A = this chain, B = another copy of it.
Amino acid sequence: MSVTEIETTKERLITSGLALMSEKSYHGAGLSEILKRADVPKGSFYHYFKSKENFAVEVIARNSMDHLEKMKSILSDKATSPMDRIYGYYSIMRDFYRSNGAQRSCLIAKLALEVSQLSEPLREAVKGAYDQWSQLLAETIREAQEIDEIDQSFDAEALANVLINDWEGATIRMQIEGNIKPLDDFFEVILEHGLKLKACKSD
């Protein structure tokens, strides 16, 4: 039980930090507010984390891992075709924003711009998240190319990176527009149109 208690305090801090940094930013989420929401005194915070920076690295890692697991559970489902899995993944993400509101977006994207210049460890944490996501997506794309669901002239890694980046760009726009139309545009132009075109160059 003591072990679970230990986990619980740290857990509450990470959960609280995740929520607050997603809502406000890294600088916007003050320690005092994080502590208040987690109902944990400051001393305990500095027992588990050596600094706010260090704390944020763990928050990012946690968020990154959670999302990767979610991706895996969808993209590794061999019962469905690769392209349908990719489509399904983005559908689920879009549904999430549709029901949870277009205001709160991906923590990693949020911190990426704010913090990549501020702190090397934070930059690396964000980079790790992106790289893992891209790699997983690239595998699924390769599967799709093998059965000719996606044009083989695409470079799988490059396409995966572009898809990940495009989606993040769309979620940014979603936040400033206040609705999920940018995600719909991504679906229409990239997924439903662009990826289904065949290679017969115009020139």
19 inter-chain pairs at a CB distance below 8 angstroms, sorted by A residue, are A27-B114, A103-B116, A103-B117, A112-B172, A113-B172, A127-B177, A130-B176, A153-B193, A155-B188, A159-B189, A162-B190, A164-B173, A165-B173, A165-B182, A172-B172, A197-B197, A197-B201, A198-B200, A198-B202
Given contacts A25-B27, A165-B166, A194-B197, contact A112 B175 (CB under 8 A): yes
Instruction: Let me know if A126 is at the binding interface, CB within 8 A.
Output: yes
Q: Nearest Cβ distance between residue A4 and chain B, in whole angstroms?
A: 34
Q: Is A24 an interface residue (CB 8 A)?
A: yes
Q: Which of B23, B104, B127, B189 contacts A154 (CB 8 A)?
A: B189
The residues of A with any CB-CB pair to B shorter than 8 Å are 23-25, 27-28, 103-105, 109-110, 112-118, 123, 126-127, 130, 148-149, 151, 153-155, 158-159, 161-162, 164-170, 172-173, 175-178, 182, 185-186, 188-190, 193-194, 196-203
Partner of A23 from B117, B149, B166, B201 at Cβ < 8 Å: B117
Q: What is the count of identical protomers in the complex?
A: 2
The residues of B that contact A176 with a CB separation of less than 8 Å are: 112, 116, 123, 126-127, 130
Instruction: Please determine whether A105 and B114 come into contact, CB atoms closer than 8 angstroms.
Output: no
Q: Would you give the shortest CB distance from A136 to chain B, in whole angstroms?
A: 16
Residues in B neighbouring A127, C-beta threshold 8 A:
176-177
A105: nearest residue on chain B (CB-CB)? B113
A88 smallest CB distance to B (angstroms): 17
Shortest distance between the CB of A140 and any CB in chain B (Å): 16
Given the complex, which residues of B lie within 8 Å of A105, measured CB to CB?
A: 113
Distance A105 CA – B114 CA, assembled complex (angstroms): 11
Report the minimal beta-carbon distance from A164 to chain B, rounded to whole angstroms: 8
Q: A116-B175, A162-B190, A166-B166 are in contact. List 11 more A-B contacts (CB 8 A).
A: A28-B118, A112-B176, A113-B114, A116-B176, A123-B178, A127-B177, A149-B202, A165-B172, A168-B173, A196-B203, A197-B202
